Amino acid sequence: MVPWAGSPTASFSVTLVLAGVTFGTVIAAGMMQFGPLGFFANQVPSMDLPRPLGFVLKPAIFVIEMLGMCIKHLILAVRLLANMVAGHLVLLGIMGMISAAASYSFGMWATVTGISVVSSTLFSVLELFVAFLQAYIFTTLSALFIGASVQQH
């Protein structure tokens, strides 16, 4: 977090690339563990089904699992983006109160400015904590997704 520069993860392109790297690692690690065909075969859990039912259900489950894998990583990017942008919007709202108070008397503007500067400083500290927390959550979820890709289902 650099003042007046914003955070890189407040851009969807950055969070999308980070999630894309995780997605690529999930696929690469799974293919290294099980082979290309084995990785995709591992996406469908083993089930003891009658043949006619298996021919219908297994392709449907495969499609659902593949969509789920793509959606999980897209949500990983959106979650990081939303949490970073939310902090910036709160700071923008607090600092925007200064502009709103400027249309009133000078005494009110000075009071609101003092309160806004103190509040934005405290929220910046909170936003720094949230940034570290989101980095931890992103890393943990990435590790979980990669670990799940190398385990037999």
Exposed/middle/buried for 65, CB within 10 Å: 0-12, 13-18, 19+?
A: middle
CB 22 within 8 A of CB 76: yes
Q: Determine the Cα–Cα distance for residues 124 and 120; give it in Å rounded to an integer.
A: 6
Please check whether residue 102 lies inside any domain of the structure: yes
Please report the pLDDT score of residue 8 as a whole number: 83
Please check whether residue 91 lies inside any domain of the structure: yes
Please check whether residue 60 lies inside any domain of the structure: yes
Please report the pLDDT score of residue 116 as a whole number: 84
Please report the pLDDT score of residue 38 as a whole number: 92
Q: Which residues contact 16 (CB under 8 A, 6 or more apart)?
A: 77
- pTM value? 0.81
Q: Torsions phi, psi of 114, nearest 5? A: -60, -45
Please report the pLDDT score of residue 115 as a whole number: 85
Give the angle subtended at the CA of 63 by the CAs of 59 and 67, to the nearest 5°.
Answer: 170
Q: Which residues contact 61 (CB under 8 A, 6 or more apart)?
A: 44, 45
Please report the pLDDT score of residue 13 as a whole number: 92
Please check whether residue 3 lies inside any domain of the structure: no
Tens of each residue's pLDDT in the chain, 153 residues: 666 677 788 888 999 999 999 999 999 999 999 999 999 988 888 888 888 888 889 899 999 999 999 999 999 999 999 988 888 888 888 888 877 777 776 777 778 888 888 888 898 888 889 889 999 999 999 999 999 999 987
Please report the pLDDT score of residue 3 as a whole number: 65
Domain count, the chain: 1
Please check whether residue 70 lies inside any domain of the structure: yes
CB 61 within 8 A of CB 44: yes
Residue 116, domain extent: 8-149
Please check whether residue 14 lies inside any domain of the structure: yes
Please check whether residue 1 lies inside any domain of the structure: no
How many CB atoms sit inside 10 A of residue 70's CB?
A: 11
